[in-house]
Structures are given as C-alpha cells and as structure tokens.
C-alpha cells in the first residue's frame, strides 16, 4: 500500500523552526515513500464568503471540504443539500477553476455527511459533471457515515468503498467513535470500524496504487491493523 500521513502543519512548522504554517495539514509519504507530498489540506468552509484559498500550497493538489450553508463547519443545515447549497458549490467551483488551471493545481474535495458532497450519489454526480476540470475527490469512507448508520456499518462501507474507490484520488482512512450527533475521527483500531470488513473491501475494490492517508498518531499500530 502507498501510505501517507496527515501531518498537522502547525506541528511540522515547529519541528523545522518555521515562524508560521502555510496550511492546516500536509499529507506526507510514509515508509518507502517517506517525504513525498501527496497534498495539502486547507480546513474551513469554502462556501463561507470569508474563506480564502492559497493555491500555492505544497503538493499538486489541495484537499478541502465541499462546504456547508450552516453557520458552523459541521452544523446540521438541510439547505446545504438543496438547490441553495448546490448552487453555492457550483459557483465556487466555477470561480476557482481558471486559477487552478493557470497554476497547475487541483482541488480534491473531501465529502462529509453534512456537506454538499454528502453521499455516494452526490460524489458520483460531481465526478461526472466536473470531468476534465481541475477537481478531484479525497474520500474518507467514515466521513460519509452518520450515527444512525452504525447499525448497518458493513453495508454502508461496502457501498462507499465499492463505488468510490475507482474514482477517488485517495482514501483518508480513520476509525470513528460516536460523539453526540457526530462521529469523531480516531486512529484505525481505536474505534468501531470492522477490521476484516474494511480490509476485504479494500482488497476487492481499491486500486493497488491508491494512496491511503492515515492520522498521525500510532502509525505502526494503524499499519498493522490495516496490513498485518
């Protein structure tokens, strides 16, 4: 597997003695591909008028959320999935595309159950509508889950992985635990993910060279959970 680690940019800046950090995260290769930059991560809500993107971040692509019309990044706002949210997202993509092309960068949208790209169908529709444009997907399978879906987690994971593995630029793999109405990301093996189900789905559906991005804690243990 091509394993990358989602490093916190603030921590990296401290390690190298930098006075400031350029983004919220950097996906760096691990093991035999150590140091290779897969992408930068720019946190925040692209549909918020105050949000701004620096296209000169490290790596060939920048991972961002697809955004929400809620007042908080993971707020529950039904308008996000209706025409108002879809129109705002379309406007953002149309405005960003020329600069991305000129700077030879791409945006990899990270779907989430409370954002515009919220499920398998919205992700597939997006890839079809934006084919040939500087946009990609960066799918975290558990980002598309909600607390009520945990009762049938194997079925939901099966649909997500089988459908999106062929079209995503990477999988952001993390475990989850319930935290009120939301799911909290934790390292693989520290939550409720069914290990053998996920490993089987990846073996069957994920391309052999698909980048896998892990959280930065307990890397040896996560790799053993995933590959051992």
Is the Cβ–Cβ distance between 225 and 185 less than 8 Å?
no
What is the residue whose two structure tokens read 């060279």? 209
Pull the structure tokens for residue 218: 């307990």
The strand pair at 106-110 and 135-137 is best described as: parallel
How do the pLDDT tens digits run along the chain, 228 residues long? 999 999 987 665 454 444 444 568 899 999 999 989 999 999 999 999 999 988 888 899 999 999 999 999 999 999 999 999 999 999 999 999 999 999 999 999 999 999 999 999 999 999 999 999 999 999 999 999 999 999 999 999 999 999 999 999 999 999 999 999 999 999 999 999 999 999 999 999 999 999 999 999 999 999 999 998
Q: What is the pLDDT of residue 18?
A: 44
Cβ neighbours around 44 below 10 Å, total: 15
CATH code of the domain occupying 2-227: 3.20.20
What are the domain boundaries of the chain?
2-227
Asked whether 40 and 60 are in contact (CB, 8 A), the reply is no
């Amino acid at each position: 597997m091509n394993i990358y680690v989602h490093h916190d940019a603030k921590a990296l800046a401290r390690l190298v003695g930098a006075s400031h950090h350029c983004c919220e995260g950097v996906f760096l290769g691990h093991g035999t591909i150590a140091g290779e930059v897969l992408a930068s991560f720019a946190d925040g809500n692209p549909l918020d008028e105050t949000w701004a993107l620096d296209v000169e971040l490290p790596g060939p692509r920048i991972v961002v959320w697809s955004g929400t019309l809620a007042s908080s990044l993971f707020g529950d706002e039904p308008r996000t999935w209706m025409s108002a949210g879809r129109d705002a997202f379309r406007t953002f993509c149309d405005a960003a595309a020329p600069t991305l092309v000129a700077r030879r960068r791409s945006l990899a949208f990270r779907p989430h159950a409370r954002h515009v790209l919220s499920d398998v169908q919205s992700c597939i529709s997006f890839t079809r509508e934006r084919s040939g444009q500087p946009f990609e997907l960066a799918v975290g399978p558990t980002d598309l889950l909600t607390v009520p879906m945990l009762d049938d987690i194997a079925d939901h994971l099966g649909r997500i992985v089988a459908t999106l593995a062929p079209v995503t630029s990477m999988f952001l793999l993390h475990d989850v635990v319930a935290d009120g109405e939301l799911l909290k990301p934790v390292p693989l093996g520290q939550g409720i993910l069914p290990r053998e189900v996920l490993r089987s789905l990846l073996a069957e559906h994920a391309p052999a060279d698909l980048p896998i991005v892990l959280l930065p804690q307990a890397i040896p243990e996560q790799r053993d959970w995933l590959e051992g």
